[in-house]
């Protein structure tokens, strides 16, 4: 590949891939945290995607070299060689295997974009595209308002099939969000046990109907609340002396809320 065709074929600008390149082969694009250089994290991902799809070398170019008409450079596709031979810092550059089945665009705005076919991303983004997007959103949120470009990029990418890992991930207005809110309200004594039980079970049915997806152990915690309610007799007139009391149910819900808060803290770290 000569005359810097890499940049012209893959990129539509210094911050985006060409729609035509993405469309060919049904590629997807994922944002990744980065620091305007090739680090071990990026080199590992890109090397894995390239080598596991059969490529012994990759092509690299600085975007400034494209404007100057300089040719690309070829680099062995091992992680170590990519780290050693891509020394550029504080400027944008792009890498791709020779068949252009994947590409990595590194910017100087605190993020990179990796794109490719399903096979390429299976190796370079092993956690899955949706999870990588969710992780980037957390990174952008932690980094804060001092980096507006990150917020824009975060908003531009949305998971295709959301599976929430903790209550901090849950979409506002969802049935799962209502389940969590009811737990917090009951634990704080703002609603009665009977109201909590009826409303929470109704919200759970809606969550199932809407196919809202949860990841472990978040789903397990909510399942435990359901099992507790299965043992709870809602109508006080039908309760026997050895049945679960309102206070016992409240203690169980508080314990599970504590578990959910622990998941939030782990996700934020």
- So what's the pLDDT on residue 2? 43
> At 32, is the pLDDT very low, low, confident or very high (cuts 50, 70, 90)?
very high
Instruction: Report the chain's mean pLDDT, rounded to a whole number.
Output: 91
> Do 117 and 171 reside in the same domain of the chain?
no
> Do 109 and 176 reside in the same domain of the chain?
no
Q: Is residue 149 part of a domain?
A: no
Nearest to 119 by CA among 132, 101, 104: 101
- So what's the pLDDT on residue 183? 97
pLDDT at residue 104 tops 60 = yes
> At 267, is the pLDDT very low, low, confident or very high (cuts 50, 70, 90)?
low
**For the chain, how many structural domains are there in total?**
2
pLDDT: which is higher, 4 or 218:
218
> Do 17 and 113 reside in the same domain of the chain?
yes
- So what's the pLDDT on residue 1? 47
pTM: predicted TM-score of the whole model, two decimal places: 0.63
> Do 21 and 97 reside in the same domain of the chain?
yes
Q: Is residue 213 part of a domain?
A: yes
Question: What integer is the mean pLDDT of 20-46?
Answer: 93
Which positions ≥6 away from 265 have C-beta within 8 Å? none
Q: Is residue 44 part of a domain?
A: yes
- So what's the pLDDT on residue 265? 85
pLDDT in tens, 187-220: 999 999 999 999 999 999 989 988 788 988 999 9
- So what's the pLDDT on residue 69? 64
pLDDT in tens, 123-170: 999 988 888 998 899 899 888 777 888 999 998 988 777 688 899 888
- So what's the pLDDT on residue 269? 55
Range of 32's domain? Answer: 5-126
pLDDT: which is higher, 117 or 264:
117
Question: What integer is the mean pLDDT of 14-42?
Answer: 93
Q: Is residue 58 part of a domain?
A: yes
> Do 173 and 230 reside in the same domain of the chain?
yes
Q: Is residue 151 part of a domain?
A: no
Q: Is residue 159 part of a domain?
A: no
The Cα–Cα gap between 90 and 120 comes to: 27
- So what's the pLDDT on residue 45? 97
Residue % of the chain over a pLDDT of 70: 95
> Do 23 and 73 reside in the same domain of the chain?
yes
- So what's the pLDDT on residue 246? 97
């Amino acid at each position: 590949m000569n005359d810097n065709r890499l940049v012209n074929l893959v990129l539509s600008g210094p911050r985006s891939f060409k729609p035509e390149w993405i469309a060919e082969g049904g590629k997807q694009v994922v944002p990744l945290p980065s620091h305007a250089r090739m680090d071990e994290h990026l080199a590992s991902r890109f090397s894995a995607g390239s080598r596991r799809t059969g490529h012994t070398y990759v092509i690299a170019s600085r975007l400034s070299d494209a404007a100057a008409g300089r040719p690309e450079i070829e680099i062995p596709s091992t992680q170590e060689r990519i780290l050693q031979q891509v020394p550029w810092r504080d400027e944008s550059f792009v890498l791709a295997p020779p068949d252009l089945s994947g590409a990595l665009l590194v910017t100087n705005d605190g993020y990179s974009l990796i794109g490719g076919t399903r096979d390429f991303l299976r190796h370079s983004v092993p956690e899955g595209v949706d999870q990588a997007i969710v992780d980037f959103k957390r990174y952008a949120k932690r980094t804060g308002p001092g980096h507006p470009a990150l917020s824009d990029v975060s908003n531009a990418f949305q998971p295709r099939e959301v599976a929430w890992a903790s209550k901090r991930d849950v979409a506002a207005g969802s049935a799962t969000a209502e389940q969590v809110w009811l737990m917090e309200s009951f634990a704080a004594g703002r609603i009665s046990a009977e109201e909590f039980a009826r409303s929470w079970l109704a919200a759970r049915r809606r969550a199932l109907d809407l196919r809202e997806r949860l990841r472990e152990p978040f789903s397990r915690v909510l399942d435990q609340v359901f099992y507790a309610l299965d043992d709870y007799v809602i109508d006080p007139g039908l309760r026997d002396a050895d049945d679960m009391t309102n206070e016992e149910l409240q203690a169980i819900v508080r314990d599970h809320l504590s578990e959910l808060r622990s998941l939030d803290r782990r996700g934020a770290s």
